[in-house]
Structure 1
Amino acid sequence: MPKISRNQPAKKRKREPVTFVDEVTGEEVRVSSVLFGFVMLIAIIVALAAWMGGSMSQIESRFAGFMDDTARMAGVSVNEVSVLGLEQDPGLQQEIRAAAMIEPGENMFRADPYIIRRRVEGTHKVLNVRVHRLWPDQVVIIADAAEPVAVWHDGKEWTVVDGLGRVIPDERAGDHPDLVRVAGRGAPEAAPALVNALADAPDVTGDLAIATRINDRRWDMRLISGATVRLPEDVELTAALGRLTDLQVRTALMQRPLKMIDLRNAGRVYLGPVNPPNFKAREIAARS
């Protein structure tokens, strides 16, 4: 009968490497092999970075240069950048072309229309910007000049506002004496809607001196006569101007000696005369 030693240590089993089966090829692949391959790939990338100068950004830059050269050889590099819609203003046309930051010879694949459009819109000088790539070698930028619609007093000076409610840089307010004048916080953004509404109310526009934005919800209009027209909130702006036009045509309301015309309540118009009647004096006169 063999002797059994109680203190004899158990033999360690040799650990088998973890494997998995590729469902496509049916081959068994050891995890250690995958890890080794991944480590080697990292090592190659690092070595390549060191060989090219020591930084990944240089690798990216040189790769981009390589792709540009390849695109040029394949005939898909930018040959022409056209700006359409601004032919009447060659200076602005050239400025928009420069803002696009696309030069002849660049890779057409890197001339991203969305990025170019954002650059052009960032000038705040044009509207309705569209950018198209016409393969293999042309970039076309289509834009409309930002037309001035109002002049805004920001508390310090007068500036010109375009049809999207944006201040137009380098535009002189003195060159636009016939535009609607606005003031107050939020006035530039709301000015285009006001100007559009006033376009349908010419009998009102002729007597308007300045419109002041109130709480970014509505307007007060000061007339040339000195009277203030209190308009309702923006959703009722067009209807209120229609009522005021009707009253002006029928009664010449805005030429009366009034201090205030309140249109904020639908169906009613409150008038504030310059010299309110003295009812007490009338009573005394009636008793005498």
Structure 2
Amino acid sequence: MFALKSGQVRKTGAIGSSLLGLSGDGFVLPRWLRRPARLAARLGQGDFSPPPFSATIASAILLASSGFYGAYVGGHMPAVVQAITARSGFAVDQIRVIGHHETSEIDVLGRLELDGWTSLIGFDADKARTRVAELPWVTDVSVRKIYPDALEVKIEERKPFAIWQHGSQLAVIEENGNVIVPFSNSRHANLPLVIGYGAANHASAFLAKVRKYPELAARVKGYIRVSERRWDLRLENGITVKLPERGADKALADLVTMDRDVGLLSRDIAAVDMRLSDRLVVQLTPEAVERREASLKEGAKAPKASAEKRI
């Protein structure tokens, strides 16, 4: 009896030690393994009874796991994440565009490629920034997520400097001469007009020279690059000023001085040629030529009439 009881005690003690996380040689299981060890011991003794609906829950977990694994292997995981998070309150609902003056907000929204259920969590802001940066007026852009449901798009735009006419084409350009967009908006009609091949790349430096004389700059309708070497000024009253290839600064100063002194640019002339360093050539309009010839004829008749009277 004693041997049987002793054996039972030893057996019971062994089981209890295993339930407490003790092994036969005194080894103690880590705390995080003790609960699974106790559960395994109870399963081995037949003392564990599964909770209600455990089979249904296990089946659902198995099916969900299979579905997620299939989506991952098939490359559909981003779409799954988008769908789940969007319907959990993270769908993009507000979009704020900042800093745009020339760029249409509709164009920006189109480059974001949003639909009614785009999730903010799965939205790729870097790719969206790259797409928005391809718009012609945009020079820099940042796209920021504001949780739970907002996007902020901050834009820096190019600055229009002039309208460049080359052949029959018109384009809005930057100060460095780069073309931004074809000219099509009357909002840019007040920009300076530069004409001719090479005009876009040299316009900034030359316009800076002309703007030193505001009274002259205000009367210029077009800046014409001639043979990619020199400039002509087309004034609003139709006069063309032909500037030299070298010494344009001095020619501009002389032109302004003569206009102040004798009103040169207000006379009935077609062109002022300043290409020669030692002289100024003025071309009259056809009407002025006719009037001058008529005046000369009248002047020639006057001495004849006086001679006839004396006879």
Residue identity opposite 2:77 in structure 1: F
Q: Please, which of 130, 142, 152 is the counterpart of residue 154 of structure 2?
A: 142
Alignment of 1:183-198 (within 5 A): 183-185=195-197, 187-188=199-200
> For residues 271-286 of structure 1, what are the structure 2 equivalents within 5 Å?
273-274=280-281
TM-score scaled by length of structure 2:
0.47
Question: After alignment, is 222-231 or 207-216 more displaced?
Answer: 207-216
CA distance in 2, matches of 1:190, 1:75: 55
**TM-score under structure 1 normalisation?**
0.50
Name the structure 1 match of 2:74: 59
Q: Does residue 222 of structure 1 match 2:229?
A: no
* 2:232 aligned partner, one-letter code: M
In the TM superposition, residue 117 of structure 1 has moved relative to its aligned partner by 3.5
Q: Offset of 1:65 from its aligned partner?
A: 0.9
- The one-letter amino acid of 2:92's match is V
Match of 1:117 in 2: 129
Q: CA deviation at 1:178?
A: 3.4
Q: 1:137 to 1:255 in 2, by over 3 A?
A: farther
Aligned letter for 2:79?
G
- Structure 1 residues 63-110: Cα deviation after superposition (integer angstroms, max 9, x where no partner): 221232354366555332222345x88x92223222332345334355
Number of the residue aligned with 1:168 = 181
Q: 1:134 to 1:214 in 2, by over 3 A?
A: farther
2:76 aligned with 1:69, yes or no? no
SS at match of 1:171: coil
Q: Which amino acid aligns with 2:144?
A: H
Are 1:259 and 2:259 matched, yes or no? no
**Percent of pairs identical after alignment?**
17
Could you tell me how far apart the structure 2 residues matched to 1:162 and 1:187 are?
A: 12
Match of 2:104 in 1: 92
Which has the larger share of helix? Answer: 2
2:231 counterpart letter in structure 1: D
Moved more, 130-139 or 194-203: 194-203
Q: 1:203 aligns with which of 204, 215, 219?
A: 215
Report how far residue 255 of structure 1 moved.
4.0
Contact 2:210 2:252 in 1 (8 A): no
Provide the rounded CA distance (Å) in 2 between the counterparts of 1:259 and 1:135. 67
1:230-270 CA distance string (max 9 Å, x none): 567xxxxxx966x66644544439947631358xxxxxxx4
Match runs of 1:17-56 below 5 Å? none
CA RMSD of aligned residues (A): 4.6
CA distance in 2, matches of 1:192, 1:93: 30
Corresponding residue of 1:178: 190
Segments of 5+ residues of structure 1 without an aligned counterpart are: 1-47, 233-238, 263-269, 277-288
Cα distance in 2 for partners of 1:240, 1:114 equals 49
Per the alignment, residue 96 of structure 2 pairs with 82
Q: Say whether the 8 Å CA contact 1:208–1:223 is kept in structure 2.
A: yes
Supply the distance in 1 between the matched residues of 2:195 and 2:189 (Cα, whole angstroms): 15
Equivalent pairs counted in the alignment come to 205
Q: Which amino acid aligns with 1:98?
A: G
Give me the whole-angstrom Cα distance separating, in 1, the residues matched to 2:168 and 2:210. 26
More strand by percentage: 1
Alpha-carbon spacing, 1:226–1:99, altered in 2? closer, same or farther (3 Å): same
Q: CA 1:79–1:223 in structure 2 vs 1: closer, same or farther (change >3 Å)? A: same
In the TM superposition, residue 204 of structure 1 has moved relative to its aligned partner by 3.5
Q: Deviations over 1:208-236 (max 9, x none)?
A: 343345787x762333332223567xxxx
1:205 CA displacement: 1.7
